[in-house]
Structure 1
Amino acid sequence: MQLEDDNILKRVLDCYSIQVENVKLLTSKSGRTTWLIETSDGEKILKNAQMKPTRMLFIAEAHEHLHNNGLPIAKIHRTTQGGLCVGVEDSAFVLYDKVDGNEVIYYDKEQLTRTMKFMAQFHTNSQGFVHSDESKKRGRIGKWQKLYRWKLQELEGNKSIAQGLPLDPFSLMFLSHVDKMLERGRQSLMELDEAAYQNWSKEWIEAKGFCQQDFTMARLIDTEDDLFMRELHSITIDLPSRDIRMLMNKVMKKLSIWDTDLAIQMLQAYDSINPLTEDQYKVLWTDLKFPHLFCSIIHKYYLGQKVSWSDEKYIWALQNIIAVENSKAEFTDQFHSLVPLIKEKKEDS
């Protein structure tokens, strides 16, 4: 089997006009394998992902689009035949330059501010993207209502399950907060019928932009001169606010509380590069109000997704998320006073 894998790897590398000097396996997990490829033209990264080549092509085309538009992202290489990826059955390979730098961490406010500016540049540079007919597009723009309804229906279903588990501590804690979360979720769902969401969706479709889907600092490195994106893990056609919401929720979950001052600094940094209108901030507020984090941990628990987690760890995770969601409510209730503060664009942003 190893010999067969080595033969596949050699055939893939032969598709590129590079002189290979050495190959080293770096990681292999979660359906993704990466190798360090030492060449006469410097070090490269070869990545294999268990996804259909048409899907990988969509991501690779977006990667090249961002690079060509000036975003600090590793150069992706085409094959000698002009292809952006090499398909092997139900998986695909891509090759890009290896760039060295320091880790970007969530607890460093300066790096967090720079990350928000990088995200804003990402969204700006994403515009004008036209994918090929051969690639498989993925998008959620205009589909938020369906997603919200599905999450609320699942929450209602899990509520029924929890009511049948009167001795389960996790279920008891869940039941003491679920009605408030359902109320917030339904309010967010109603707000999607307003013009702000409809108009931004239409404008973004016309702009041909995209978001990263799960904007994480793990994809970035600090090269001192600038933050740099090592690779493009995934993309989807959706509003920029999705990336903003995902990263803000991720940061605040690590802090175990919603820090309003930090949230303002993050949004000021983003707005300094890619200014949002008041209506666009309304859409972001709607998405922040929806209890995505709460829905996620409940989904994991009742589906038993985290096999290695103990009951105590699940309870700790739920307590943490409830603290974040409850303190976030104080932030989202101040829309009309906070948006002008964001627009001030303080010097330290």
Structure 2
Amino acid sequence: MMADQTVYSTTSPVTNERLVHMARLLLKQWDVEAKAIEVIQSGQMALVWKVYTDDGPKCLKRIHRPKKKALFSIYAQDTLAKKGLYVPRIIETRNHRLFKQYGPFLFVLYDWIEGTPFDLNVHDDLIAMIEALAHFHEQSVGYEPPPGVPVFSKLGKWPKHYMKRCRQLEAWKQLAKLDRDDPFSRLYLAEIDRFIEKGEEVLQQLLESYYETWVEQMKKRPSLCHQDYGTGNSLRGEDGNVWIIDLDTTAFDLPIRDVRKMMAPFLFETDEKGKTKADIVLEAYEDVRPLTKKEKKVLFIDLLFPYDLHELAVEKYIRNVPITEAELAEAMAYEQAKWEEIERRLDSL
């Protein structure tokens, strides 16, 4: 299911042998004969093996998600594949199940998609990726999980997510005060209040926008969001089609959540003609799935929220990753520039 961009496992020979043996035992649940098995990803909760068979390569994967969320994405992927979307087919077990559970973990066997990763610096690659995303959103409308499978939805939850992040940014001030000798923490204490205030303003803008009305409409016939779309989760297959892989985080949400994540890194990056790549992303998406002005306003409001700064603070104060003062200053400068750029776009609607 993965491809040339895969980071191969660097486990020791002993660990690698143990994982291959584990895969062979697991594969007894499927009607496949493994000629060879390669450990592709390990060292985390997610495990991925490439299984070579006479019927082509397969991907055996341990899903790194709670069972309730994993079931939603597994059945969604199966439904989309059967509808003809370019997502990997799930291979049923001997007992005609889509997965095998051992302990708290779900294991799934997929077709392995051979292909090449996209280069976001190549105009045609960027367009192809975004158009595929729009088709994914469009064609996933109407998916209903089977009875007994919990619904994983983020529809209507953005305000709570904004409030949670603002509270976290406020709470981390206490951690920063305990480490005033650290340049990162000193800068955080000096500047973070204005970013918290901006986050609260964005929350108010969201509540006054078309967001809640749109959510209520989407609840009637929701579409899926990938939630982690990018070059690592899309491939140009050997058949020339764009394949979307790794749907583990898939959930019901407004489709612009995926669009926002694709646009944000490109707000200030331009092509050879001077057009921002963020505009190219939005135009390519709308060529397939047009957005109304009200919907685009919700998209721009979501872009205003200081996600990047929050993620940097998570790295520092939750994951204890050493982050420099310069990195924090760069993130703050980006957020400031982003506000000006997005406000300009909002004014032009």
Equivalent positions of 1:254-293 (< 5 A) are 261-293=276-308
Change (3 A) 1:66 1:320: farther
> Which residue in 2 is equivalent to 1:19?
33
1:96 partner SS = strand
> Which residue in 1 is equivalent to 2:87?
73
Deviation digits for residues 106-140 of structure 1 (CA, Å, limit 9, x no counterpart): 33333222222121111112211111233333222
TM-score (norm 2): 0.85
Could you tell me how far 1:143 is from its partner in structure 2?
1.3
Deviation digits for residues 273-299 of structure 1 (CA, Å, limit 9, x no counterpart): 111111111111111111111111122
> Which residue in 2 is equivalent to 1:229?
244
Equivalent positions of 1:22-171 (< 5 A) are 22-163=36-177, 165-171=179-185
Deviates more, 1:21-30 or 1:223-232: 223-232
The unaligned stretches of length 5 or more in structure 2 are: 1-13
Tell me, in whole angstroms, the C-alpha distance in 2 between the residues paired with 1:60 and 1:156: 37
Could you tell me how far 1:319 is from its partner in structure 2?
2.9
Q: Is the 8 A contact 2:268 2:276 kept in 1?
A: no
Name the amino acid aligned to 1:242. R
Matched, 1:318 2:328: yes
Could you tell me how far 1:160 is from its partner in structure 2?
4.4
Change (3 A) 1:24 1:254: farther
Name the amino acid aligned to 1:265. I
Change (3 A) 1:193 1:129: same
2:92 partner SS = coil
Aligned residue among 231, 234, 239 for 1:220: 234
Name the amino acid aligned to 2:124. E
Change (3 A) 1:317 1:105: farther
Change (3 A) 1:317 1:30: farther
Change (3 A) 1:157 1:12: same
Could you tell me how far 1:4 is from its partner in structure 2?
8.2
Change (3 A) 1:65 1:323: farther
1:231 partner SS = coil
Deviates more, 1:175-184 or 1:204-213: 175-184
Name the amino acid aligned to 2:282. L
Change (3 A) 1:59 1:262: same
2:57 partner SS = strand
Aligned residue among 294, 305, 310 for 1:295: 310
CA RMSD of aligned residues (A): 2.7
Deviation digits for residues 52-96 of structure 1 (CA, Å, limit 9, x no counterpart): 444322111111222233322222212232211111111111111
